[in-house]
Amino acid sequence: MASSWGYSPAPESTDTVDIRDDYGLFIGGRFVEPSGGEYVKTINPATEEVLAAIPVADDDDVDRAVDAAGAAFKKWARLPGAERAKYIFRIARVIQERSRALAVLETMNGGKPIKESRDLDVPLAAAHFFYHAGWADKLEFAFPGRKAEPLGVAAQIIPWNFPLLMLAWKIAPALATGNTVVLKPAETTPLTALAFAAICQEVGLPPGVVNIITGAGATGAALVRHPDVHKIAFTGSTEVGKDIQRAVAGTSKKVTLELGGKAANIVFEDAPLDQAVEGIVNGIFFNQGHVCCAGSRLLVQESIAERLLDKLKRRLATLKMGDPLDKNTDLGAINSREQLSKIKTLVGVGVDEGAELYQAECDLPDRGFWFPPTIFTGVSQSHRIAREEIFGPVLSVLTFRTVEEAVQKANNTTFGLSAGVWTEKGSRILWMADHLKAGVVWANTFNRFDPASPFGGYKESGYGREGGRHGLEGYVNLT
Ligand code: NAP
Ligand code: MG
Whether residue 101 sits in one domain with residue 56: yes
Nearest by Cα to 69 from 244, 229, 242, 267: 229
Query: Can 258 be counted among the known catalytic residues?
Result: yes
Cα-Cα-Cα-Cα torsion 325, 330, 335, 340, nearest 10 degrees, comes to: -130
What backbone torsions phi and psi does residue 216 show, to the nearest 5 degrees?
A: -105, -160
Distance 334 CA to ligand 2 centre (A): 15
Domain contains 8: no
Q: Which of 106, 258, 388, 389 is catalytic?
A: 258
Please report, for the chain, how many H helices and E strands are present, in that order: 17, 19
- Indicate which ligand has the atom closest to the C-alpha of 290: 1
- Indicate which ligand has the atom closest to the C-alpha of 241: 1
| pLDDT recorded at residue 363 | 85
Domain contains 12: no
Nearest ligand 1 atom to the CA of 160 is 43
Instruction: Give the whole-angstrom CA distance, residue 44 versus residue 368.
Output: 8
Whether residue 43 sits in one domain with residue 106: yes
Whether the CA torsion 260, 266, 271, 275 is positive or negative: it is positive
Q: How many angstroms separate the Cα of 162 from the Cα of each of 169, 305, 385?
A: 10, 32, 23
Query: Can 292 be counted among the known catalytic residues?
Result: yes
Domain contains 20: no
Distance 158 CA to ligand 2 centre (A): 11
Distance 398 CA to ligand 2 centre (A): 30
Tell me which residue range forms the domain holding 299: 264-443
Domain contains 79: yes
- Report the SS3 class of residue 321: strand
**Which protein residues touch ligand 1 with a CB less than 6 Å away?**
157-161, 184, 186-187, 216-217, 220-221, 224, 235-237, 240, 243-244, 258-260, 292, 339, 342, 389, 391
Q: How many angstroms separate the Cα of 113 from the Cα of each of 73, 119, 323, 367, 368?
A: 38, 10, 8, 16, 14
Domain contains 69: yes
> Residue of the nearest CA to atom 28 in ligand 1?
237
**Exposure string for 185-196, b = 16+ CB within 10 A, e = fewer:** bbbbbbbbbbbb
Q: How many angstroms separate the Cα of 321 from the Cα of each of 13, 44, 242, 318?
A: 19, 16, 35, 9
Instruction: Give the whole-angstrom CA distance, residue 83 versus residue 137.
Output: 8
Hey, what amino acid is at 92?
A
Nearest ligand 1 atom to the CA of 247 is 19
> Residue of the nearest CA to atom 16 in ligand 1?
217
What backbone torsions phi and psi does residue 168 show, to the nearest 5 degrees?
A: -65, -45
- Indicate which ligand has the atom closest to the C-alpha of 246: 1
Whether residue 322 sits in one domain with residue 436: yes
Instruction: Give the whole-angstrom CA distance, residue 335 versus residue 189.
Output: 9
Whether residue 393 sits in one domain with residue 294: yes
Total of domains in the chain: 2
CB 441 within 8 A of CB 458: no
Cα-Cα-Cα-Cα torsion 462, 463, 469, 474, nearest 10 degrees, comes to: -110
Whether residue 225 sits in one domain with residue 137: yes
- In this prediction the pTM is 0.97
CATH code of the domain covering residue 290: 3.40.309.10
DSSP labels for 261-289?
---EEEE-TTS-HHHHHHHHHHHHHGGGG
Angle at Cα 121 formed by Cα 77 and Cα 56, nearest 5°? Answer: 65
Whether residue 295 sits in one domain with residue 216: no
Domain contains 91: yes
Whether residue 251 sits in one domain with residue 225: yes
- Report the SS3 class of residue 214: coil
Domain contains 2: no
Hey, what amino acid is at 2?
A
Instruction: Give the whole-angstrom CA distance, residue 408 versus residue 355.
Output: 21
Q: How many angstroms separate the Cα of 223 from the Cα of each of 68, 237, 251, 410, 464?
A: 13, 17, 14, 36, 20
| pLDDT recorded at residue 259 | 96
Q: How many other CB atoms sit within 10 Å of the CB of residue 345?
A: 12
Distance 56 CA to ligand 2 centre (A): 14
Distance 322 CA to ligand 1 centre (A): 25
Whether residue 416 sits in one domain with residue 294: yes
- Indicate which ligand has the atom closest to the C-alpha of 288: 1
Q: Which of 292, 388, 460, 466 is catalytic?
A: 292
Query: Which residue out of 165, 240, 242, 459 has the highest number of ligand 1 atoms within 8 Å of its CB and is therefore the one to mutate?
Result: 240
Whether residue 471 sits in one domain with residue 374: no
Q: Which residues neighbour 246 within 8 Å (Cβ) at sequence distance 6 or greater?
A: none
Taking 3-state DSSP, the helix, strand and coil percentages for the chain, each rounded to the nearest 5, stand at 40, 20, 40
Whether residue 328 sits in one domain with residue 287: yes
Distance 323 CA to ligand 2 centre (A): 25
| pLDDT recorded at residue 1 | 46
| pLDDT recorded at residue 5 | 65
Query: Which residue out of 109, 112, 157, 224 has the highest number of ligand 1 atoms within 8 Å of its CB and is therefore the one to mutate?
Result: 157
One pLDDT digit (tens) per residue for the chain, 479 residues = 445 567 899 999 999 999 999 999 999 999 999 999 999 999 999 999 999 999 999 999 999 999 999 999 999 999 999 999 999 999 999 999 999 999 999 999 999 999 999 999 999 999 999 999 999 999 999 999 999 999 999 999 999 999 999 999 999 999 999 999 999 999 999 999 999 999 999 999 999 999 999 999 999 999 999 999 999 999 999 999 999 999 999 999 999 999 999 999 999 999 999 999 999 999 999 999 999 999 999 999 999 999 999 999 999 999 999 999 999 999 999 999 999 999 999 999 999 999 999 998 888 899 999 999 999 999 999 999 999 999 999 999 999 999 999 999 999 999 999 999 999 999 999 999 999 999 999 999 999 999 999 999 999 999 999 999 999 999 999 99
Nearest by Cα to 92 from 152, 135, 32: 135
Domain contains 1: no
CATH code of the domain covering residue 198: 3.40.605.10
Whether residue 120 sits in one domain with residue 87: yes
Whether residue 319 sits in one domain with residue 181: no
